[in-house]
Chain A
Amino acid sequence: MPPHSVEAEAPAVDLRVSVGGVELATPLILASGTWGYGPEALPYLDYSRVGALSPKGITRHPRAGNPEPRVRECNGGLLNSVGLENVGIEAFIADKLPLIRDYPTKRVVNFSGSSVEEFAEMAAMLAVAEGVDVLEANLSCPNVKAGGAAFGTDEGLVRETTAAVRGASRGRPVWIKLSPNVTSISTMARAARDTGADAVTVANSFLGLSFDTRTRRPVFANVVSGYSGPAIKPMMLRLVYEVARELPGFPVVGLGGVMEAEDAVEYFLAGACAFGVGTAALVDPRCAGRIVDGLEAYCRSQGFERIRDLQGAIVR
């Protein structure tokens, strides 16, 4: 019999979560847009502690993105107008995906179409690509055929697009990344769920605007930009809470302003089953490890043996 240890070893916390048909080793997802295609962050990350990597969002054809400037710090957050710069789906599958295929994490491939048909075409291409664990359709992009309104702001388009992606996905898990710039986020989440989504990501960045007061011009050539970071967390928590309350049992990935483990805890309490980390990467790309370690410590201190038991565990 081994000698009795004076200091009992801390019990391990089960960090695994199940999100819309995918098992993740931890609930932390590297959100699309800030972590490059994956290899860039390798010097600063232990991918075995990352539940999923969502590489730079891709489009049907390569995009050069918007002119400079593309970022501006603003009131506890960040405005960005990168303009979906990416290599296009063909180069992504041929050149980028093989680099991350063997990483010890899941790959959530975020993609945007300019029409419902293009969403379906891209879903079909990704569905047969080796190394794609989840198809995540970004519905915050404009529908070019319908005058430029974002897919995610029209319930009918959410239904149509989700159904088209589902139909082309060959059984791969489908997540829908919603726009927060809507009157009723739960209406959009329901539309996605009812037409085949396995989960929703709540949500993309809020729309924002900033002016240069010296020149009286908008800061960004595109005028409107995306607002992310700590400043939006309370609003995103409210959206996650609304979806989780209205659609019990339907998986929600929370996204917006997670900088530390305590932020992630709040997303779990609001009802998310996993969370994304985006803007924090720009401040410190080592943040992913720190957040997962912090979550583990939190669960241990609060008596949770499984992180999934924290989901919706609000004390009233």
Chain B
Amino acid sequence: MIQAAEFFQAPVVHIAEPGGDAALFEVELELPGLAGRCAPGQYFLVRVGEGVDPLLRRVFLLAGASREGVVLQHHASSPAEAERLRALLQSSWQLDAFGPHGTAFAVDDARDALIAASGVGVAAAAFLATRHLLAGRAVRLLVPEEMAEAAQSLVEAVGDEGILVAHFDLPLEGPALEARLAAEFASAPGHAAYAAGPRALVDAFAAAAARHDGPAQVCLTDSTISCGFGMCLACVVDTPAGRRRICTEGLVFDAAAFR
């Protein structure tokens, strides 16, 4: 039985803005004892500020979990939103966090990994890469150039654990993205394949994974989430395989659902 998500008043250990993307925020929260319940692809809903503006909690994707706490990342929807969140986060010494929510990547760390990530999906990629590297497996990481600085800190953080090859030239969308991913799949037979990012990346990755002979999963990171546990019926994603409830059936799906 899945344990219901819980509410935590979590002390803030640090708040950072990983370089290169002014809308990306990283927070480390003191949440001891939670690591066993947290996995790559899951998220917390965090209340930023105490009033009614912003009203809804924000989706913070898990970037890591340890005995002491969790590291989360959030990508603001606009520069104005980023400005507002920055001010609120910088004045917070603790945050109201609700989670963990959602499905997690089924980490197949008996295989080497191919990971494509964009936007806040880099957070899930970091978590995934760590799992594979700690199991002694190689990781090939693909990230767009605009995320290079943010991803570089990830490489530095986990690079000592094993073989991590990172490429910071993944096209953002369109035929170039599809062609690049197809080529990557061709050179990574049998790899456990993962993608985390916005819909354009997920669709292209799912299409490219059609002939892949290993597992392929995607994490859709750019959806609005309201309650987080399927109560309000507001958060759906339309896929070629039908309508899915993004908050509880996702954020992680088998890539086949998107082709």
Contacts and interface: CB of A to CB of B under 8 A. Distances in A.
B163 interface: no
Interface string B225-238: 01101111111111
A41 B231 contact: yes
Most buried by A among B224, B230, B233, B246: B233
A70 B231 contact: no
Given A65-B236, A68-B237, A281 B231 contact: yes
Contact of B7 (A82, A279, A282, A286): A286
Contacts of A67: 236, 238, 243
Given A69-B224, A282-B226, A282-B227, A56 B233 contact: yes
Interface string A279-293: 101111110000000
B34 interface: no
B52 A43 contact: no
Contact of A285 (B223, B231, B236): B231
Given A65-B236, A68-B237, A68-B238, A73 B230 contact: no
A73 B55 contact: yes
A230 B52 contact: yes
A73 B232 contact: no
A71 B224 contact: yes
B57 interface: yes
A76 B7 CA distance: 23
A72 interface: yes
Contact of A71 (B7, B57, B235, B237): B235
Given A73-B55, A230-B52, A281 B227 contact: yes
B259 to A, nearest CB: 18
B180 interface: no
Interface string A75-97: 11110101001000000000000
A200 to B, nearest CB: 24
Interface in A197-226: none
Interface residues of A, number: 35
Main SS at interface, chain B? loop
B183 interface: no
Contacts of B52: 76, 229-230, 259
A28 B236 CA distance: 29
A40 B230 contact: yes
B224 A283 contact: no
Contacts of B7: 284, 286
Given A64-B243, A230-B52, A283-B55, A36 B230 contact: yes
A113 B236 CA distance: 24
Contacts of A64: 243
B53 interface: yes
Contacts of B47: 283-284
B46 to A, nearest CB: 12
A26 interface: no
A229 B55 contact: yes
Interface in A238-263: 259
B4 interface: yes
A76 B232 contact: no
B56 interface: yes
B94 to A, nearest CB: 16
Given A71-B226, A283-B47, A286-B7, A36 B55 contact: no
A283 to B, nearest CB: 6
Interface in B28-60: 47, 52-57
A112 B55 CA distance: 28
Nearest to A74: B55
A283 B57 contact: yes
Given A64-B243, A67-B238, A68-B238, A281 B56 contact: no
B55 A76 contact: yes
Nearest to B230: A40
A76 B51 CA distance: 9
Given A78-B55, A259-B52, A68 B231 contact: no
B144 to A, nearest CB: 19
A36 B224 contact: no
A44 B98 CA distance: 12
Contact of B223 (A68, A76, A85, A230): A68
B243 A70 contact: no
23 contacts: A34-B231, A36-B231, A36-B232, A36-B233, A65-B233, A68-B235, A68-B238, A68-B246, A69-B224, A71-B226, A71-B232, A71-B234, A76-B53, A76-B55, A78-B55, A85-B233, A230-B52, A281-B231, A281-B232, A283-B47, A283-B57, A285-B231, A286-B7
The 6 A-B pairs with the shortest beta carbon distances in the complex, nearest first, are A40-B231, A36-B231, A43-B4, A230-B52, A282-B226, A71-B234
Given A65-B233, A68-B237, 5 more contacts: A70-B234, A70-B235, A71-B234, A73-B54, A82-B233
